[in-house]
A and B are shown apart, each in its own frame.
Chain A
Amino acid sequence: MKTLRFLLEKEFRQLLRNRQLMRTLLLAPLIQLILLPMAADYTVKNIAIAVTDNDHSPSSQRLIAKITASGYFRLAGYTASYPQALKMVEEDKADLALQIPAHFERDLVRENAKQVYVAINAIEGTKANLGGAYLRSIVSDFNDDLRVQWAVIDDAPQVTVASSNWYNPFLRFPLYMVPAILVTLVTAMVAMQSAFNIVQEKESGTIEQINVTPIRKHIFIIGKMIPFLVLGIVLFTMGLLVGRLLYGIVPVGSLLVLYVSLVVYLFAMLGLGLLLATYSNTQMQAMSLSFFFINIFNMMSGVFTSVDSMPGWAQAIVATFPPSHFIKIMRTVVLKGSGFSDIMPQLWAMAAIGLFLNTWAVLNYRKTA
């Protein structure tokens, strides 16, 4: 125990002495946490729409006015022909092209039904999805308006939908993004730095000095891990505070659940850092390896696109990524107030992955050191 205490003293001193590193480690995530949620606003609004009105009737004018007044769409311009509108989509000047065919109003009155044509740039899936849905519901509202206005009696039975949004009734994006972004920041800082720290000792040769002392391997490893565990907890706390002060996010669930999950998560990620360190001889290698994993973790763990939309095999792969579990825990605890019993599967998964990675790392460390 005494050895561990001395080791910890050494590690903390080395860490705190490196001002440049400490500044980056603490300030950089803070800046990111302030900037990222501002940028990560997936609210779909201001969809640019190019309109080809071949009818020029009062009805077509009103439909266009209704679409642009909805707040979701912004008129990018009128074009004389549909191909010109499509050209605007091609050039990214519009996201969506709407064509109102000639004789729109006349046919609507005569035949009771008429099509309008919509083409959406679907390279950005979410925007295309929502843009189409918004347009459909606006047109459906417009149909109702017309019926009222033209006093058409409509006595067919109707099922109506009363929808409500739980847990985030105002559909605020920061509520959803901040918890996940916080996880990615803790991941990047802690897993990468712990790998770096050990490899640095290898590269500068000081690890050999430690190897020849009677310090036991696991004590050395624990001594390396604890400072980064503390760093992770400090970072996480800072993140929660920023979320609270800047975005007014107060976790609905208990802080105890969050911090217990955090410690389990850090255990797993530090295991990964350690494992990568055992496989690297230079900082360059440690950097490449940890960047590889962090990048894939960040993209696949559900921060940006939902894990549920992935095919089964991909979901199975993602289940082995610790961040995917912690992100899920963060979101449910912060937004819905889930307790230990709700997040048990994720907690166990992280603990199992952590145990596996750490065991592997320790075994591998013995061989190479």
Chain B
Amino acid sequence: MKQLSTFIRKEFLHVFRDRKTLLMLFGLPIAQIVLFGFALSNEIKDSRIALLDYSKDAVTTRLIGKIEASHYFDIRRNLASGEQLNAAFKRGDIKMAVIFPQNFGDDLIHAGKATVQVIADASDPNQATTITNYFESIVTDYNAELSQNAQQPLQIRPELQMLYNPELRGAPNFVPGVMALVLMLVCTMMTSVAIVREKELGTMEILLVSPFKPIYIIISKLAPNLVISIVNLFIILALSDIFLDLPVKGSVALLVGCSILFILTSLSIGLLLSINAKTQQAAMMGSLMGMMLPTMLLTGFLFPIENMPVALQVLSNLVPSRWYFIIVKRVMLKGLGFSSVWKETLILTGMCLFLFGISLRNFKIRLQ
């Protein structure tokens, strides 16, 4: 036991001596939470649009007034002709163009119908759909105004309510994602590189010929990363509560417990990766390709899993962070209890035991 505690102290010294890496380990989560939390948003507002009004009558003036009054659009009037539209789209100056044809007002009053043309820059399909929809809803409002005298019959009105995240901020979705990513990064990448580093520098040989048990080597390598990850976890939770107004709605103990489970799983993966890698570079690329990429890809916080091809959906079940992400979302954002995450917790426990067992079995006590 004394041996073990000495070795753990040695590993801690190694980690804490390297100020630059340490700064990154704690700087990354802080920077990510602050930047992503405040900056990333799915809300679409003040989209720059071009307005071509060939009619310039009372009706178009009224409609333009309504467009201006909504916070969805920011009108650019400096376009004189349709030819300039393409250029403006190509420069990325505008997202949409609204064109009122000649005699728009006359047509509306005399023929009872007038058509406004809308051209959206659909390179980003969802944005195009959303702003076109916003515009249509303004026109619908206007139509309702027009028919106020003749009381438009048969109106079903949907009353929309946005649950959990009414301002459509990016933070509620990104904070759990960042948690998964950061814990994964520290545990998997740092662990595998730290072990392979000893191999590359030749000090592993010394460790292996010593009477020190291999299991102690593993434990002492894992301990600092476990501690750092838990500290990181609390930093993230505190930051999101203080700055992002995202407190843990459910039980903190449950969230921390599940996080530790996830941390242990990630540590096991790091251990597993270190077994086969010979150089630090290989270990790093291995954890990038083997872990970071699947985490980014198949966790569900960047890409919607339900839209993926079936093969990828099946594969995503094997990624631990996917389950962890679900747990965090439910416990932290929705405030649900253990009864609604027991399945995910069980899966994570199974993965953790399996991976740790495999990496223990395969940890080589010889160099060749």
Chain A residues close to B by CB (< 8 Å): 20-21, 24, 28, 32, 35-36, 38-46, 63, 86, 89-92, 108, 112-130, 132-133, 135-137, 139-140, 142-143, 146-147, 150, 152, 154-169, 171-173, 175-176, 188, 196, 200, 279-285, 287-289, 291-292, 295-296, 299-300, 304-306, 308-311, 314, 317-318, 328, 331-332, 335-339, 342
- Residues in A with CB closer than 8 Å to B172 are 123
With known contacts A46-B306, A90-B334, A146-B154, A126–B35 Cβ distance under 8 A: no
Give the complex CA separation of A342 and B93 in angstroms. Answer: 10
Instruction: Please pick, from A116, A280, A283, the residue contacting B159 in the complex, using a CB distance under 8 A.
Output: A116
Q: Is the CB of A41 within 8 A of B303?
A: yes
Q: Is the CB of B92 within 8 A of A332?
A: yes
Binary flags per residue of B170-202, CB closer than 8 Å to A gives 1, else 0: 101100000001000100011001100100000
With known contacts A125-B165, A143-B154, A175-B123, A159–B18 Cβ distance under 8 A: no
Give the complex CA separation of A135 and B143 in angstroms. Answer: 19
- Residues in A with CB closer than 8 Å to B117 are 162-164
Interface size on B, residues (CB 8 A): 116
Measured CB to CB, the nearest residue on chain B to A184 is B296
- 25 of the cross-chain contacts (CB-CB < 8 Å) are A42-B126, A46-B306, A108-B154, A108-B156, A118-B160, A123-B329, A125-B43, A128-B42, A129-B126, A130-B130, A159-B113, A161-B136, A163-B119, A165-B125, A169-B122, A287-B193, A292-B31, A299-B32, A299-B40, A305-B41, A308-B95, A309-B40, A310-B41, A314-B35, A332-B123
B63 within 8 A of A: yes
Give the complex CA separation of A123 and B175 in angstroms. Answer: 11
- Residues in B with CB closer than 8 Å to A336 are 89-90, 121, 123
Give the complex CA separation of A172 and B125 in angstroms. Answer: 7
- Residues in B with CB closer than 8 Å to A119 are 161-163
- Residues in B with CB closer than 8 Å to A117 are 158-159, 161
The 8 closest A-B pairs by CB, nearest first: A125-B42, A156-B147, A314-B39, A165-B122, A288-B24, A171-B125, A133-B133, A122-B162
- Residues in B with CB closer than 8 Å to A133 are 129-130, 133-134, 137
Measured CB to CB, the nearest residue on chain B to A153 is B153
Give the complex CA separation of A282 and B280 in angstroms. Answer: 10
Instruction: Please pick, from B38, B125, B285, the residue contacting A176 in the complex, using a CB distance under 8 A.
Output: B125
Give the complex CA separation of A300 and B39 in angstroms. Answer: 8
With known contacts A41-B308, A165-B128, A336-B123, A118–B159 Cβ distance under 8 A: yes
| Min C-beta distance of A189 to chain B, whole Å | 10
Instruction: Please pick, from B115, B123, B312, the residue contacting A161 in the complex, using a CB distance under 8 A.
Output: B115
Q: Is the CB of B173 within 8 A of A124?
A: yes
| Min C-beta distance of A187 to chain B, whole Å | 13
Q: Is the CB of A35 within 8 A of B31?
A: no
| Min C-beta distance of A179 to chain B, whole Å | 9
Main secondary structure of the interface of B (DSSP, over half): helix
Give the complex CA separation of A296 and B47 in angstroms. Answer: 25
Q: Is the CB of A295 within 8 A of B118?
A: no
Number of A-B contacts (CB under 8 A): 356
With known contacts A21-B281, A117-B159, A123-B329, A163–B132 Cβ distance under 8 A: yes
Measured CB to CB, the nearest residue on chain A to B104 is A159
Q: Is the CB of B158 within 8 A of A41?
A: no
Instruction: Please pick, from B118, B159, B161, the residue contacting A163 in the complex, using a CB distance under 8 A.
Output: B118
Give the complex CA separation of A309 and B131 in angstroms. Answer: 13
Measured CB to CB, the nearest residue on chain B to A328 is B92
Give the complex CA separation of A193 and B47 in angstroms. Answer: 38
Instruction: Please pick, from A28, A112, A157, the residue contacting B109 in the complex, using a CB distance under 8 A.
Output: A157
Instruction: Please pick, from A108, A140, A161, A308, the residue contacting B47 in the complex, using a CB distance under 8 A.
Output: A308
Measured CB to CB, the nearest residue on chain B to A335 is B123
Q: Is the CB of A89 within 8 A of B163?
A: yes
B267 within 8 A of A: no
- Residues in A with CB closer than 8 Å to B155 are 112-114, 143
Q: Is the CB of A291 within 8 A of B140?
A: no
B20 within 8 A of A: yes
- Residues in B with CB closer than 8 Å to A28 are 285, 288-289
With known contacts A147-B153, A291-B24, A299-B36, A38–B312 Cβ distance under 8 A: yes
Instruction: Please pick, from B21, B35, B127, the residue contacting A285 in the complex, using a CB distance under 8 A.
Output: B21
